[in-house]
């Protein structure tokens, strides 16, 4: 049995995506970096202003998840 020939206009490089493991590692790293930036900002603002930014605490936990999911789904 012969397989059908590939269409010449398809570009393999445009459709190539990283492996699932690489995507998961990138998403975790981006999420951890975003979380670290958020925590550092909270600590900095507490030291400088002597006031805790209570409104930002839920954002520090939720924004890294959103960013990690966005990075992970960028290639899907």
**Confidence bin at 4 (pLDDT 50/70/90):** low
pLDDT digits (tens, 9 = 90+) for 11-70: 555 667 788 898 889 999 999 999 999 999 888 888 888 887 788 888 889 999 999 999
**Which one, of 65, 63, 74, lies nearest residue 28 by Cα?**
65
Q: What local confidence, expressed as pLDDT, does residue 2 receive?
A: 62
pTM attached to this predicted model: 0.71
pLDDT of residue 10 exceeding 90, the answer is: no
Report the distance separating Cα 57 and Cα 41, nearest Å: 11
Report the distance separating Cα 7 and Cα 34, nearest Å: 42
Q: What local confidence, expressed as pLDDT, does residue 37 receive?
A: 94
């Amino acid at each position: 049995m012969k397989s059908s020939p590939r269409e010449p206009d398809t570009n393999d490089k445009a459709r190539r995506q990283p492996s699932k493991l690489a995507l998961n590692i990138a998403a975790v790293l981006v999420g951890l970096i975003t979380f670290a930036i958020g925590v550092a900002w909270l600590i900095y603002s507490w030291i400088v202003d002597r006031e805790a930014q209570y409104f930002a605490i839920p954002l520090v936990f939720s924004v890294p998840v959103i960013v990690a999911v966005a990075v992970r789904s960028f290639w899907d």
